[in-house]
Amino acid sequence: MTPLPGGCYCGLIKYTITLEDPESQARTSICHCGNCKKFTGGEHGITTKIPKTAFRITQGMEHVKIHEADNGSGVLLHREFCDTCGGPLLEYGANAGDNIYVFYGTLEDHARGQVEPKGEFFCKLRDPWMPSIEAPTCPNVGAFLPSLHAFDYVFLGEDIPSGDVLDNGYPRNVGSVSD
C-alpha cells in the first residue's frame, strides 16, 4: 500500500489516499476547459482520479464544505473545499462513477511525484502561450481511461484509445465546455 497524504492550504483539513498501485489506480490530468479555469483561477485545472474508497479525511471533516453547480453540460458537479481558507480538495459528479478527482496541488510534495500528470483534456482550449505537458509514458491505458476523442485529449506515450464519443466530440465522462 502506498499512502499519499495531502490537505487544504491552511492545514485544517488533512487526508490520506491509500492505493495498492498508484500507477494503475490513479490518473492525473490537466484540464483546459473553461469550467476548470474559472474554478481554479488559473490557466488549467489539474486533478488526480482515484477510487472513492482510497480517500479518507484524517483531520478537519467539520471544515469541509460542498459547492454544487452544472459543469456546463448538464451534469451536476460537486466540489469539496475548506470553509476557512477556501482551498479546493476534490470534485465528483454523476459521470465519475466510483471515482473522485482530488486537486493535485493539495497532495504533499513527495506524494505528487508518485502521480505525475499523464495527459491533458480540452487541448483545443489550451491558452496559446501554454506548452503541452511532457511526462513519462503510462502503461495499461485501457485499464483506466474512458473513451476519448483525439482532438480533445493528449495522452503521453500511447495511442489514443477509440470508443464511443458524444455528438459534440467530447468523451462520455468528461462533458462539454460551457464557453
Which domains occur in the chain, in start order? 2-155 (2.170.150.70)
Mean pLDDT value of segment 136-145: 37
Is the CA virtual torsion 31, 73, 89, 83 positive or negative?
positive
**Sheet (strand 55-59) strand order:** 2-7, 14-19, 55-59
What residues are paired with 165 via a beta bridge? 171
Nearest to residue 59, comparing CAs of 90, 16, 1, 100?
Answer: 16
**Angle at the Cα of 84 from the Cα atoms of 64 and 45, rounded to 5 degrees:** 70
| Cα–Cα distance measured from residue 76 to residue 60, given in angstroms and rounded to the nearest whole number | 25
Q: Which triple of cell numbers denotes residue 52?
A: 472513492
What is the model's pLDDT at position 138? 36
CB neighbours (10 Å) of residue 86?
A: 11
What is the model's pLDDT at position 170? 37
Lowest mean pLDDT among 7-16, 67-76, 126-135, 162-171: 162-171
Nearest to residue 90, comparing CAs of 116, 176, 154, 81?
Answer: 81
Mean pLDDT value of segment 2-28: 94
CB–CB of 138/155 below 8 Å?
A: yes
